[in-house]
């Protein structure tokens, strides 16, 4: 399986790094980012634009589109990235509380662009993410992601 080759050798240590106070984590340190072809094209702190190139890993939906589960993963990665860079010191994302996604059109373009905006930062932090084609003419998905944020435990 293609995705198995991109998983970390020690997933427990990897997850600890993600969860325990490493708020400056780079995008390529998130699971699956490289395999899915996700890059950060613009970052303004509370807003960011990501791009995902169509490839053999992420295509598999109806009408030769990008799989809906892959799109949901893309949305969650974008949301976590935005929240993490706005966390207070000694805070962490505890978990994703809610991911609500409306699939509006099949994602069939060569580039799928994610526009993520922080709506609320607090114990429950919320990000809105829209997935567009590369030209920003067709909206594929509109999503809202809420995450529980709390104090990080010191090791």
Residue 137 lies in a domain: yes
**What is the CATH number for 106?**
3.10.129.10
If one counts the domains in the chain, the total is 1
3-state secondary structure of 91: strand
Residue 12 lies in a domain: yes
pLDDT of residue 79: 97
3-state secondary structure of 22: coil
Cα 71 from Cα 77, distance rounded (Å): 10
Q: Are 113 and 73 in contact (CB under 8 A)?
A: no
- The answer to whether the pTM exceeds 0.85 is no
Question: Which residues make Cβ contacts (< 8 Å) with residue 89, sequence separation at least 6?
Answer: 23
In this predicted structure, the answer to whether residue 41 has a pLDDT above a threshold of 50 is yes
Q: Which range, of 29-33, 41-45, 132-136, averages the lowest pLDDT? A: 29-33
């Amino acid at each position: 399986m293609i995705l198995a080759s991109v998983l970390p050798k020690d997933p427990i240590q990897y997850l600890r790094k993600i969860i325990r106070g490493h708020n400056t984590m780079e995008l390529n340190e998130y699971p699956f980012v490289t395999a899915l072809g996700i890059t950060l094209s613009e970052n303004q702190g509370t807003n960011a634009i990501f791009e995902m190139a169509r490839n053999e890993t992420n295509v598999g939906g109806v009408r030769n589109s990008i799989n809906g589960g892959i799109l949901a993963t893309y949305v969650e990665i974008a949301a976590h990235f935005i929240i993490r860079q706005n966390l207070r010191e000694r805070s962490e994302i505890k978990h994703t509380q809610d991911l609500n996604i409306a699939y509006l059109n099949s994602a069939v373009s060569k580039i799928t662009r994610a526009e993520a905006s922080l709506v609320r930062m607090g114990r429950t932090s919320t990000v809105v993410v829209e997935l567009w084609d590369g030209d920003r003419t067709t909206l594929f998905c509109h999503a809202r992601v809420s995450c529980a944020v709390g104090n990080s435990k010191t090791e």
